[in-house]
Amino acid sequence: MPRSNNDKYPLFYVADGTWPEVILAADAPLSAHCGLLLARDLNRMMRSRGLSLRSLAETACVAHSTVARVLNGDVLPDIGTLTRLEDALDFQLWPGPSAVRAAASGRAPLHKR
pTM of the entire structure? 0.88
In a domain, 81, yes or no: yes
In whole angstroms, give the CA distance from residue 56 to residue 46: 8
Give percent above pLDDT 90 in the chain.
88
Angle, CA of 85, 87 and 88, to the nearest 5°? 65
Check whether 18 has a pLDDT greater than 70: yes
Domains held by the chain: number: 1
8 Å CB contact between 71 and 39: yes
Q: Would 13 be classed as within a structural domain?
A: yes
Range of the domain at 86: 9-105
Residue 37 located in a structural domain:
yes
CA 93 distance to own-chain centroid: 8
| Backbone dihedral angles phi then psi of residue 79, each to the nearest 5 degrees | -60, -40
Count of CB atoms situated within 10 Å of the CB of 112? 6
- pLDDT, averaged across the chain: 91
DSSP label at 111?
S
Higher-pLDDT residue of 1, 10: 10
Asked if residue 52 belongs to a domain, the reply is: yes
Structural domain contains residue 2: no
- Residue 17 sits in a domain whose CATH number is 1.10.260.40
Report, as an integer, the average pLDDT of 33-54.
96
Residue 4 located in a structural domain: no
Cα–Cα distance for residue pair 56/65, rounded to 1 Å: 11
Residue 3 lies in a domain: no
In the structure, what pLDDT confidence band is assigned to residue 106 with cuts at 50, 70 and 90?
A: confident
Torsions phi, psi of 15, nearest 5?
-100, -35
Closest C-alpha to 35, from 60, 12, 6, 58: 12
